[in-house]
Amino acid sequence: MSSPFVDSIIFLLLVISVGFGGISVIGLLLFPDIRSRMYTATRASLISVSAITLSVILYALFQLLSGGGPQYTTLVLHTMVLIIVVVGANVMIYRMISNHIKTQKGCQGQPEQKMADSH
């Protein structure tokens, strides 16, 4: 059991996490073009995952300082590895989608330029 102050901070972080997770899902469903969907999903989901991760690390550190065992150190380390993997994968997928959109836009723009040059 942790203190009410730490519990309230963890609760607030989890509420923030659920809120931004909902924003990312709603953004994916409602926005019309791929860029706005991609922007909202990437940013909001990163904030959501960061808030969850911070709440887990805060809980583990408080338990560790309260006399908990080495499992809380392991929890902090595993959580740090998880956030690195999630952020790295999210950034990599964002760049892949962005490059794919740019190449498709470049391919679609070439015939129009050829037609304009022939006139």
The pTM is what?
A: 0.72
What is the distance between the alpha carbons of residues 86 and 89, in angstroms, rounded to a whole number? 5
Q: How many domains does the chain have?
A: 1
Q: What is the pLDDT of residue 100?
A: 82
Q: pLDDT tens digits, residue range 53-69?
A: 999 999 999 998 888 88
**94 burial class (0-12, 13-18, 19+ CB within 10 angstroms)?**
middle
What is the distance between the alpha carbons of residues 55 and 9, in angstroms, rounded to a whole number? 8
Q: What is the CB neighbour count within 10 angstroms for residue 97?
A: 16
In which domain, by residue range, is 29 found? Answer: 4-118
Q: Are 75 and 60 in contact (CB under 8 A)?
A: yes
